[in-house]
Amino acid sequence: SRSSFKTYPRKGVSGSYRIGVGGCAGYTPRYEYMWTTLASHKFDAMLMLGDNVYIDIPELPGPFHDYTYYRRQSRPEFRNLVKSTAMYAIWDDHDSATDDVWMGPYRDKPDWKQPLLAHFQRNWVNPEMGDPDWPGCWFSFSLGDVDIFMLDGRTYRTNPFKEEKTMLGPVQKSWLMKGLKSSTATFKIIGSPVAWASEAKPDSNDTWNGFINEREELFQFLSDNHIEGVLLLSGDRHRTDFWKNERKGDYPLYELMSCRLTNIHTHDLMPDAIFGYNEKPSFGILNIDTELPDPEVRFDAVNIDNEVVHSYTVRLSEISYPKR
């Protein structure tokens, strides 16, 4: 038998790309065929948005931390996916420490923070992550004329019940703003481990609802700098949703939330979403075409049995500013 692979296009080159999106992948033997379903799409990239395994032990890495990864990595379904698909991963609460965790603003406190981060990095082959002086799991990469920014919402998150608080920390936030401002990509995609949309998990301080001022600071930064073509991704909720985040006097920020790859548990659908799905484990697909006169992204919600259950298309003209 013969094998082949395709290298990424040069940065800035227009083209058609397919990106898979998912997360919340507790080890569930009867749902492990999800990885075969994902592999069948031959994605240009697969984005894992957190809770990619469930460890929930906020202490120095030990045998159970390893076991949680190894039992998934030993499955032929998962091995066949990762040997043929570029995987990119950030963490959320259950694969970083424990439920709704905030690790605080310090580099080396708690003492298990950096060892757990190093353990995560050993298990996911990401681009260079974080900052040399402030390690984290945020990073960016380009797929032709699409720039993807993957955020770390846990490592430097501070207490969400305090008045002064941050999800990203100053170093990561500065990195994100600088990257967005300098990007010339047709589409800029920002992946968050938790929901941007206020109604995705109402009355929760664990999503961006707990950090509204910081979220609005980022959204205002986009407006102030006329940064167009921005799309949002998020995880955490055990379902697949599509949201429209309205901004007064500016284009809306569309958001695909998908985070039930293999979990048994589901979360209820929310009435304000454009669409929602929770009947079976599911994932999202971004079908991107930047060669069209009006470049577009079609967002598909697909279940574990490879059934497309919802679709929504966003064109660049809908998320751009009038030409001056």
Any idea what the CATH number is for the domain that residue 159 is in?
3.60.21.70
In sequence order, which residues have a C-beta less than 8 Å from that of residue 267 and are 6 or more positions away? 237, 238, 239, 278
Residue 254, in any domain of the structure: yes
Q: What is the pLDDT of residue 286?
A: 99
The contacts of residue 323 (CB under 8 Å, 6+ apart) are none
Q: What is the pLDDT of residues 176-200, one digit of tens each?
A: 999 999 999 999 999 999 999 999 9
Please tell me the predicted confidence (pLDDT) of residue 256. Answer: 99
Q: Which domain holds residue 21?
A: 16-319
pLDDT band at 323 (very low <50, low <70, confident <90, very high): confident
Model pLDDT, residue 317: 98
* pLDDT score, position 24: 99
pLDDT over threshold 90, residue 6: no
What tokens appear for 159 in the block? Answer: 């207490």
CA dihedral 318, 320, 323, 324 (to 10 degrees): 140
Pairing of strands 187-192, 139-143: unpaired
Can you tell me the mean pLDDT for 264-291? 98
* Domain contains 155: yes
Residue 123 and residue 66: Cα distance in Å, rounded?
9
Residue 5 within a domain:
no
Whether 10 is in a domain gets the answer no
Q: What's the helix, strand, coil split of the chain in %, to 5?
A: 25, 25, 50
So what's the pLDDT on residue 4? 63
User: Which residues have a Cβ under 8 Å from the Cβ of 123 and sit 6 or more positions away?
Assistant: 69, 73
- Asked, for residue 116, whether it belongs to a domain, the answer is yes
Structure tokens at 303: 């279940």
Q: Look at the block and give the residue holding tokens 């040069």.
A: 10
49 inside domain: yes
The answer to whether position 282 is within a domain reads yes
Question: Which helix H or strand E contains 299, and what residues bound it?
Answer: strand 296-303
Q: In percent, how much of the chain has pLDDT > 90?
A: 96
Domain count, the chain: 1
Q: What is the pLDDT of residue 288?
A: 99
